[in-house]
Amino acid sequence: MKLQMHTHDLIIFGTKGDLAQRKLFPALYSLEKKNKLVDNTRIIGVSRSNTNTKEYIQIIYNALKKFLKEKINKKIWEKFKKRFIFCKMNINCLQDFKKLKIILKKKKHILLNYFAVSSNLFIKICKGLSNINCNSKTSKIIIEKPIGDSLKSFNFINKSIKKYFSEKQIFRIDHYLGKEALLNLITLKFFNPFFNNNFNKKTIDHIQITLSESLGIEKRWSYFDQTGQIIDMVQNHMLQIISIFAMNKPKSLKKKHICSEKIKILKSLYIKNNDIKNNISLGQYKSGKINNNIVPSYVNEENSKKNSLTETFAAIKLYINTKKWKNVPFYIRTGKRLLKKCSKIIIFLKKSSENLLKNNKKIFNNRIIINLQSPFNIKIKFFNKIPQLNSKFKLTSSEMLFNYKKITKNNFFPEEYEKLLLESMKGNQFLFVNYKEIKYSWKWIDSIIKIYKKNPLLLEYYSSGSWGPKSSEKLIKKDKRKWDNN
């Protein structure tokens, strides 16, 4: 069944925040450029700051100048800016929601509420929307990760939200699920026997997943310090990647069947012998040099606390207790202020048991590298014989390369938020996270956070512009392996 697009009132709570300016406004502009926003759709920004609509439009323009990956087209901007309305209100004040009601009364559009705020405000917003009768069956809410800071808080928030909105109305966003390169894993595995027959414990030696950033906190210190890298990145993005990569073939490509297989993986995650302390590396960045610029340490960022023990780096060695993946280690790492931005999965195949070339020390693991960010490609590294005028076998490392953009028209490759916003307007939940996935993610993450709180000395400091703390290298080196930093 083809989903219909309707005229919406998109209400952005937290409209002056980093997420809205860095991601939402550029994505909405791109949708405008592609004529994907239905005529008369309005975008209503909510904040308690002393701003009017004219000033708000200028804020959006400045955000586009800074974060849009292209020059602003004047014709598109003139059309785009007419959609915006600013509503000055305090989310914590129930009576203030009447100001929003006055704006909404003028049109009878479908409401799409984007909660670009901390999850501790979700319930208050839901209550406020209900108070002005803006939670009808056609209304929808998009809620950002992380939802809560533990399984207990997630369950409370989720249960409370469901008093006002049904499961069909709730869109739990994880922007990694909007990445074409991640979604292509399903195609790669289940439509290609070469990959599907080799993605298992018989063929694979180990898996490495790296999600690194060269950026620091970017003026989000108060938010991040209450969250940390484990919750900010591992609990959601990293576990989504693992569950999609490792899941068994679903009964169909329907959301419920894919979700069912992902949950089986999330329920099967474990750390060997439950020895969390020796299978985790946690770090916090010190000052250092990135792109020839000296950057401050985490505790010297704007509005920081000098005694903070919040981790900005996490590496974990884990296993999946399923028939297909038993005893195959997954090494995952994510951090801020690292040497470069990187989102990749590297699959190391087992070495050949027979070395036909005696004393050849150059034998390495064949590997498949999946880049989840630009340049969005898949590489297969393998051995090749160097042509020469004798019968000797001299080997060299070679690679086959597949570039996603080469198969698209005009290098078309939609941004994650662009796609997710459009799908939410259509009412399609396929690319959004089911509450059970979040539940089992929290259940596993809680055990790691609990250990860290009891052992704060696990935190190690690393220089900005490096690949993280030394304990991260030790984590993988003790297994006679090393991180692929190419």
For the chain, the first-to-last Cα distance in angstroms comes to 45
Please indicate if the annotation marks 175 as binding a ligand. yes
Q: pLDDT (tens digit, 9 = 90+) per residue, 115-170?
A: 999 999 999 999 999 999 999 999 999 999 999 999 999 999 999 999 999 999 99
Looking at residue 394, its pLDDT comes to 77
- Pair of tokens at residue 112: 């799409």
Same domain, 61 and 198: no
Looking at residue 3, its pLDDT comes to 54
pLDDT of 73 > 70? The answer is yes
Which three-class secondary structure state does DSSP give residue 115?
Answer: strand
Same domain, 345 and 462: yes
- What is the average pLDDT across 391-397? 78
242 vs 142, 319, 320, 325, 415, CA distance in Å? 23, 11, 10, 12, 21
Looking at residue 363, its pLDDT comes to 67
Same domain, 364 and 264: yes
Q: pLDDT (tens digit, 9 = 90+) per residue, 329-386?
A: 999 999 999 999 999 999 999 987 656 666 556 667 889 999 998 888 999 998 888 8
Domain that holds residue 222: 177-414+435-477
pLDDT of 1 > 50? The answer is no
pLDDT of 486 > 50? The answer is yes
Please indicate if the annotation marks 336 as binding a ligand. yes
Where is the domain boundary, 119, 144, 169? 144
Measured distance CA(380)–CA(263) in Å, rounded: 29
Q: pLDDT (tens digit, 9 = 90+) per residue, 35-65?
A: 999 999 999 999 999 999 999 999 999 999 9
Looking at residue 406, its pLDDT comes to 78
Please indicate if the annotation marks 55 as binding a ligand. no
Same domain, 131 and 183: no
Which three-class secondary structure state does DSSP give residue 60?
Answer: helix
Minimal CA–CA distance to 237: which of 393, 345, 389, 127?
345
Please indicate if the annotation marks 337 as binding a ligand. no
Q: Which of 6, 8, 237, 257 is catalytic?
A: 237
Please indicate if the annotation marks 480 as binding a ligand. no
Let me know if 237 is a catalytic residue.
yes
Please indicate if the annotation marks 145 as binding a ligand. yes
Q: Which helix (H) or strand (E) segment is 369 a member of?
A: strand 367-371
Measured distance CA(113)–CA(425) in Å, rounded: 11
Residue with more model confidence, 407 or 134: 134
- Residue 278 Cα to chain centre, angstroms: 26
What's this model's pTM, rounded to 2 decimal places?
0.93
What's the whole-number average pLDDT of the chain? 92
Pairing of strands 330-335, 110-115: unpaired
**Domain count of the chain?**
2
Pairing of strands 140-144, 42-47: unpaired
Same domain, 459 and 364: yes
Looking at residue 468, its pLDDT comes to 97
Where is the domain boundary, 97, 123, 144? 144
Contacts of 425 (CB under 8 A, 6+ apart): 5, 6, 8, 10, 38, 112
CB 344 within 8 A of CB 315: no
Which three-class secondary structure state does DSSP give residue 178?
Answer: helix
E strands present in 60-187: 84-88, 110-115, 140-144, 170-173
Same domain, 101 and 229: no
CB 144 within 8 A of CB 173: yes
- What is the average pLDDT across 23-46? 96
pLDDT grade for 236, boundaries at 50, 70 and 90: very high
Q: pLDDT (tens digit, 9 = 90+) per residue, 293-305?
A: 999 999 999 888 8
Query: What are the strands of the beta sheet with 170-173, ordered from one edge?
Result: 84-88, 42-47, 8-13, 110-115, 140-144, 170-173
Please indicate if the annotation marks 179 as binding a ligand. yes
Q: Considering the domain boundaries, does residue 422 fall inside one?
A: no
Same domain, 187 and 101: no
- What is the average pLDDT across 427-440? 96
> The CATH number of the domain where 306 resides is what?
3.30.360.10
